[in-house]
């Protein structure tokens, strides 16, 4: 009951740019990308998924970002989810792009060109925070696209969860 009260309070004050920037900065955008077993090593390949942020579940239209600005990536992480022990070192490189759901406005947000062969099931990606993502985070959902190159042939489909943490400031016009 107490959690419901706090959610209610947050919703009431979500019109405030400061609160919106704190909320948006607290919940990463996540997407699950699938690498099919049929993927060929040595070729540049693409995986696409829809990215969402947990805070979008608390708004009427999936968007609580009207009063924030200067949104950019602060960290990016990739973790295997199926199988949980999938070695991300099977990839030699990965680039993560974020765009509107229809693919417009795509920008590079994270990459890793030197994935080691024994990286394990989780890696931190190098961020590209040279672009503001204000328009993208105002969308109900975004498209996450990974361009990757396999180092080794894999025996089964692999699912990778990408988490993109952002930071935002209150909009100066509010």
The domain spans of the chain are 2-170
* Percent above pLDDT 70 for the chain: 74
What is the C-alpha to C-alpha distance for residues 87 and 104, in angstroms, rounded to an integer? 32
> What is the tens place of the pLDDT at every residue in 152-171?
999 999 999 999 998 877 76
Buried b / exposed e over 6-24, threshold 16 CB at 10 Å, is: eeeebeeebeebebbbebb
What span, in angstroms and rounded, lies between the C-alpha atoms of 134 and 30?
A: 17
pLDDT value at position 82? 94
What is the structure's pLDDT at 57? 44
Q: Is the pTM of this model over 0.85?
A: no
Give the three-state DSSP class for 13.
helix
Tokens of 140: 């109900």
Helix H or strand E encompassing 17:
helix 17-26
Q: How high is the pLDDT of residue 76?
A: 96
DSSP-derived 3-state class of residue 126: strand
Radius of gyration of the chain (CA): 17
CA distances from 66 to 73, 147, 170 (A): 18, 30, 10
Q: What CATH number has the domain spanning 2-170?
A: 2.60.120
> Residue 143 pairs with which residues in a beta bridge?
50, 99
**End-to-end C-alpha distance for the chain, whole angstroms:** 32
Q: Write down the pLDDT at residue 58.
A: 41
């Amino acid at each position: 009951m107490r959690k419901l009260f706090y959610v209610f309070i947050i919703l009431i004050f979500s019109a405030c740019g400061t609160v919106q920037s704190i909320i948006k900065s607290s919940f990463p955008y996540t997407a699950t990308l699938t690498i099919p077993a049929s993927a060929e090593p040595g070729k540049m390949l693409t995986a696409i998924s829809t990215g969402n942020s947990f805070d979008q579940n608390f708004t009427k239209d999936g968007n609580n970002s009207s009063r924030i600005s200067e949104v950019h990536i602060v960290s990016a992480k990739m973790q295997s989810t199926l199988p949980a022990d999938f070695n991300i070192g099977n990839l030699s490189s990965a680039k993560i792009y974020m765009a509107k759901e229809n693919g417009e406005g795509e920008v590079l947000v994270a990459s890793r060109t030197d994935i080691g062969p024994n990286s394990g099931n989780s890696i931190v990606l190098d961020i590209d925070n040279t672009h503001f993502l204000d328009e993208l985070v105002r969308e109900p959902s975004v498209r996450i696209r990974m361009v990757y190159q396999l180092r080794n042939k894999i025996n089964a489909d692999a699912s990778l969860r990408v988490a993109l943490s952002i930071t935002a400031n209150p909009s100066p016009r509010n």
